[in-house]
Amino acid sequence: MKYLKRLSGVLVVFLLLQAFLLPLGETKAAEGALGISAEAAALIDVASGRILYQKNGDKKMRIASLTKTMTAIVAIEEGNLKDVIQIPDEAVGVEGSSIYLRKGERLTLEELLYGLMLRSGNDAATAIAIHIGGSVQGFAYKMNEKAALIGMTHTNFMNPHGLDDSNMHYSTANDMVKLSAYALKNPTFRQIVSTKVKSISWEGESWDRRLQNKNKLLHLYEGADGVKTGYTKLAKRCLASSATRDGRQLAAITLNAPDDWNDSMKMMDWGFQTFKPTKLVGKGEAIDPDAPVFASEDQLQLITENDFVYPLTRSETTQVTSRVNLLQPRLGKQMVGKHVGFLQIYLGNQPIGQIPLTVKEAVPTLKSQLGFHAKESFWSKLWRIAAGGLLDA
């Protein structure tokens, strides 16, 4: 099996060294391997979108107030946080969790979003839906439209809050963890769901509403920064969680989970321990295609346009391969600076990413002109890689 060309030379040494430095407790991400109580669960690496673990990941289930993740991101993307919303009659007295809105009361969209995500206000969800979508049904259409764009292929939303008022309101652990990853890339969403306590206005009272986040993981788990709790009689306990450590963010979903807090912490502990972000390709690297694509007299190179970093276990580093896919088979000097194709990257047989390629003129170095290359010693390579020089290159 052909290794990714980046995995030749120095990077092979890096990956071998990395394998020894990774925790020895690596386990397979097989269903049930972590002892998760949840009927369905999933774990994702937010930056790459790779689902690291799943248990019944595509099983259609009720999702309770995890629904509000979609409500929030649609409202943030389509609304104005400073919009002042007059509370309609339909949003007053909605069953379940509430921030006790009154008819005619005025709050900003931002305040309602805090009420939605920290206290799980079903009344706030309804007010937001009517403001953004014109009606609850109109907003549900927007929710499903966004779900399709994100790639949530086993999901259907009927309301903005997740109450058990329809058998056609459902999703899966895999779809919901994709949604969490998508939403967490929005800075406004991240700020709201990571807030532990927030005060918002309470028209007609001499005090503000004090909203304390229901997500206990914000206090229990190192690096916790989201996302949403959920419960109904039919859905049982549901949880969307996230945490960031050393600049790397994971998100987890548990559905019908009697031990949801511990389930989430187990999954994220395992994910941080088992998978490491590995730089497979660096921006500006010269890529050597399998077959000649330039005339022999042309001093040209194929160059990558950006980095590619992907979470891998130590055993997976030997399963990465690549393929150059060009838009035309032969290239010349007229293509310098232009996009000419992609470097496609695979893990086993699965495509995991592609990097745009451009053409650049090769600049001969003094060493290449003289016909020799300085050779770095094996131990020098190991020392430089261990010190982090490779990933900074």
Q: How far apart are CA 157 and CA 154, in angstroms?
A: 10
- Catalytic status, residue 194: no
- Catalytic status, residue 368: no
- CATH code given to domain 40-274: 3.40.710.10
Phi, psi angles (nearest 5°) of residue 230: -160, 145
Rounded (5°) CA angle 46-47-48? 100
What tokens were used for 133? 């979508």
Helix-strand-coil split of the chain, %, nearest 5: 35, 25, 40
Residue 227: asked if its preceding bond is cis (omega within 30°), the reply is yes
Fold of 5-21+278-392: Peptidoglycan synthesis regulatory factor (PBP3), Domain 2 (2.60.410)
Report the b/e string of 135-166 with b at 16+ CB within 10 A: ebeebbebbbebbeebebebbebbbbbbbeee
pLDDT in tens, the chain (393 residues): 343 444 433 343 333 333 333 333 343 444 457 899 999 999 999 999 999 999 999 999 999 999 999 999 999 999 999 999 999 999 999 999 999 999 999 999 999 999 999 999 999 999 999 999 999 999 999 999 999 999 999 999 999 999 999 999 999 999 999 999 999 999 999 999 999 999 999 998 989 999 999 999 999 999 999 999 999 999 999 999 999 999 999 999 999 999 999 999 999 999 999 999 999 999 999 998 888 888 877 789 999 999 999 999 999 988 999 999 999 888 888 889 999 999 999 999 999 999 999 999 876 654 444 443 444 433 343 344 344 444 433
Instruction: Spot the catalytic one: 120, 180, 194, 322.
Output: 120
Instruction: Spot the catalytic one: 5, 55, 68, 198.
Output: 68
CA 168 to chain centre: 26
Q: Name every residue whose Cβ is closer than 8 Å to that of residue 105 and which is 6 or more positions away in sequence.
A: 86, 87, 203, 204
β-pairing, 106-108 vs 84-86, is antiparallel
- Catalytic status, residue 283: no
- Strands, E, within 167-315: which ranges? 197-200, 209-212, 224-232, 236-245, 248-255, 276-281, 286-287, 300-304, 308-312
Domain boundaries, the chain: 5-21+278-392, 40-274
Instruction: Please list the residues that pair with 354 across neighbouring strands.
Output: 344
